[in-house]
């Protein structure tokens, strides 16, 4: 971790080098391109519009990321005629009395076109954009039973790869009293938490989604009487990373559909998230260690720091990824597999469109990650002191990776969020 603080200082000084994990313990430059066509488009805009940081290192970094890397883009007002920001849907959980399903539309966010490169040379990218004004699904006390993310155009229609828009990555944080991030808690610094002006001792990463849009839905996992308890003092925040393969800027809403119950019902256990990441406490990006063939990326070991019962988990990989595993004390616990192009929305209809974001890449992308829950989660308990390991398996012979126009493989990821039931203390 020694290079992290140096890299942060470098960023604050020159915006030059957040670290990207090489997955051998060393760090390369973090602020490097991911999917960028060579030689396309306009020069990056200046950083003149950077808002003044309010206070503290986190806000300063957030200000730099907002102002320098995403200058002129990010959150904008609702366009005229946009669909409502709050949508009450028919309850998805029919058999739990009082459950409500609500879709909140966040942003909207303006995403640059492929002709616009940011300061690190990435075209068409809204880059790890922090947003600290995120509505919760309830103002007081409620219990989240399930949630899933999406991306929509202002009129409410789906935004996906078939129209050149990617929900590349988003992270939902809960910032509040007693909230602690299970896996980054003991790190002196944690970039994702700093980006939203917090720390792993005052917030936790509650949910995340890549473009495959995997839900976390306790009733569907046959887990009853458990949910994430929201409290009035909790505050939500986002890191939003979106990609636009079109030649025009696009305005999109990130959506979260929540299933909630009012209050904290009697007899319900609390759910805790555990975030495994091959680039843990950084921004999840790992430099592809090989250009061809197979490789495995691993997360730093998590030594369990609380007791509970496993509810479920699913992984997140980038193109080229085959599966992600979790092991507890060396025993296979979860094997989450990738499906490619399983839905037309995940297939490029015009490969290479918009200046060729993914010229040399596949037309079919990851559309689904299998969920480990119930019988497919092979270790049932989390116990203090237990060793948890994540491994992300890539196979470029089997699945094409996402390549830059010059042919180099772009950064990869290996993430899994595990949800754990924490039994109410017996009085």
Restricted to residues 122-181, the positions that interact with Cu ion (CB under 5 A) are 169
Quick one: which segment of 96-104, 210-218, 327-335, 336-344 binds Cu ion (CB under 5 A)? 210-218
Name the minimum Å distance from CB 415 to Cu ion.
7
Interactions with Cu ion, residue window 402-421 (CB under 5 A)? 413
CA atoms within 13 A on the CB side of 121: 15
Closest approach of Cβ 171 to Cu ion, in Å? Answer: 10
For residue 273, the cross-strand partners are: 419
Q: Which backbone phi and psi does 191 adopt, to 5 degrees?
A: -55, -50
Q: How far apart, in Å, do the first and last CA atoms of the chain sit?
A: 42
Residue closer to Cu ion by CB (options 136, 168) is 168
In angstroms, what is the minimal distance from the CB of 125 to Cu ion? 12
Question: How far apart are alpha carbons 391 and 401 in whole angstroms?
Answer: 18
Helix (H), strand (E) at residue 13: helix 2-14
- Residues in CB range of 2: below 8 A, 6 or more apart: none
> Of residues 210, 227, 308, 392, which one binds Cu ion by CB under 5 A?
210
The CA-atom distances, in angstroms, between 272 and each of 183, 214, 309 are 12, 18, 10
Nearer to Cu ion, 147 or 413 (CB): 413
For Cu ion, the nearest residue by Cβ is 413
Cβ proximity to Cu ion, 136 vs 169, nearer residue: 169
**Least CB distance from residue 416 to Cu ion, whole Å?**
12
Least distance (Å) between residue 211 CB and Cu ion: 8
The total of other beta-carbon atoms located within 10 Å of residue 316's CB is 26
- Which window, 127-135, 204-212, 261-269, 417-425, contacts Cu ion (CB under 5 A)? 204-212
Q: Please, which residue, 93 or 167, has the CB nearer to Cu ion?
A: 167
Residue range at the interface with Cu ion (CB under 5 A); choices 6-14, 120-128, 203-211, 290-298: 203-211
Where would I find the beta strands (DSSP E) of 45-181? 74-75, 86-89, 100-111, 125-134, 142-152, 165-175
* 241 vs 405 by CB, closer to Cu ion: 241
Count of residues in contact with Cu ion, rule CB under 5 A: 3
Residues 85-114 within binding reach of Cu ion (CB under 5 A): none
Q: How far is the CB of 410 from Cu ion (least distance, A)?
A: 10
Sequence length of the chain is 427
Nearer to Cu ion, 211 or 255 (CB): 211
CB of 14 to Cu ion, least distance (A): 26
Closer residue to Cu ion, CB minimum distance, 251 or 413? 413
Applying CB under 5 A, the span of 114-122, 148-156, 157-165, 209-217 interacting with Cu ion comes to 209-217
The single residue listed with the structure tokens 């909140």 is 104
Q: Interface with Cu ion includes 213 (CB under 5 A)?
A: no
Q: Nearer to Cu ion by C-beta: 93 or 240?
A: 240
Report the nearest approach of Cu ion to the CB of residue 284 (Å): 6
Q: Which residues are CB-contacts of 109 (< 8 A; sequence separation ≥ 6)? A: 73, 74, 75, 76, 126, 129, 240, 242, 251, 252, 253, 254
Report the 10 Å Cβ neighbour count for 22: 15
How would DSSP label each residue in 188-226? S--HHHHHTT--TTTEEEEEEE-TT---EEGGGGT--SE
From the CB of 412, what's the least distance to Cu ion, in Å? 8
Angle, helices 56-64/2-14, rounded to nearest 10 degrees: 60
**Torsion angle of alpha carbons 370, 372, 378, 381, nearest 10°?**
160
Q: Which CB atom, from 316 or from 421, has the smaller least distance to Cu ion?
A: 316
User: Parallel, antiparallel, or unpaired for β 269-277 and 226-230?
Assistant: parallel
Whose Cβ is closer to Cu ion: residue 187's or residue 214's? 214
Give the shortest CB-145-to-Cu ion separation in angstroms: 26
Under rule CB under 5 A, which residues in 370-409 are in contact with Cu ion? none
CB 287 within 8 Å of CB 21: yes
Residues that bind Cu ion (CB under 5 A): 169, 210, 413
């Amino acid at each position: 971790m020694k290079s992290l603080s140096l890299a942060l200082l470098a960023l604050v000084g020159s915006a030059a080098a957040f670290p990207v994990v090489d997955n051998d313990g060393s760090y390369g430059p973090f602020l490097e391109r991911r999917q960028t066509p060579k030689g396309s488009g306009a020069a990056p805009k200046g950083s003149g519009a950077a808002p003044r940081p309010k206070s503290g290192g986190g806000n300063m970094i957030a200000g730099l990321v907002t102002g320098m890397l995403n200058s002129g883009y990010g959150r904008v007002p609702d366009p005229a005629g946009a669909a409502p920001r709050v949508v009450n849907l028919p309850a998805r959980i029919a058999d739990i009395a009082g459950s409500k399903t609500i879709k909140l539309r966040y942003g909207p966010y303006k995403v640059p076109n492929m002709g616009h490169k940011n300061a690190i040379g990435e075209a068409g990218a809204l880059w790890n954009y922090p947003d600290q004004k995120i509505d919760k699904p309830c103002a007081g006390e409620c219990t989240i039973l399930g949630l899933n993310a999406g991306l929509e155009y202002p009129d409410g229609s789906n935004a996906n790869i078939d129209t050149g828009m990617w929900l590349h990555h988003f992270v939902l944080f809960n910032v509040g009293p007693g909230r602690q991030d299970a896996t980054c808690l003991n790190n002196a610094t944690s970039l994702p938490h700093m980006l939203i002006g917090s720390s792993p001792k005052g917030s936790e990463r509650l949910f995340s989604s890549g473009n495959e849009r995997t839900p976390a839905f306790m009733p569907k996992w046959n887990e009853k009487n458990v949910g994430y308890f929201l409290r009035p003092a909790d505050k939500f925040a986002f890191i939003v990373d979106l990609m636009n393969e079109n030649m025009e800027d696009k305005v999109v809403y990130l959506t979260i559909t929540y299933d909630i119950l009012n209050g904290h019902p009697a007899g319900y256990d609390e759910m805790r998230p555990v975030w495994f990441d091959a680039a843990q406490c950084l921004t999840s990006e790992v430099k592809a260690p090989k250009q061809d063939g197979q490789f495995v990326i691993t997360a730093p070991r998590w030594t369990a720091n609380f007791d509970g019962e496993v509810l479920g988990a699913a992984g997140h990989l980038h193109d080229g990824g085959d599966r992600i595993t979790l092991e507890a004390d060396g025993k296979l616990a979860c094997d989450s597999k990738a499906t490619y192009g399983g839905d037309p929305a995940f297939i490029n209809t015009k490969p290479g469109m918009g200046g060729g974001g993914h010229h040399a890449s596949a037309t079919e992308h990851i559309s689904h990650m299998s969920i480990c829950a119930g019988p497919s989660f092979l270790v049932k308990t989390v116990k203090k002191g237990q060793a948890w390991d994540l491994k992300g398996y890539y196979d470029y012979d089997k699945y094409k990776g996402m390549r830059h126009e010059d042919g180099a493989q772009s950064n990869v990821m290996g993430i899994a969020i595990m949800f754990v039931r924490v039994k109410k203390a017996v009085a």
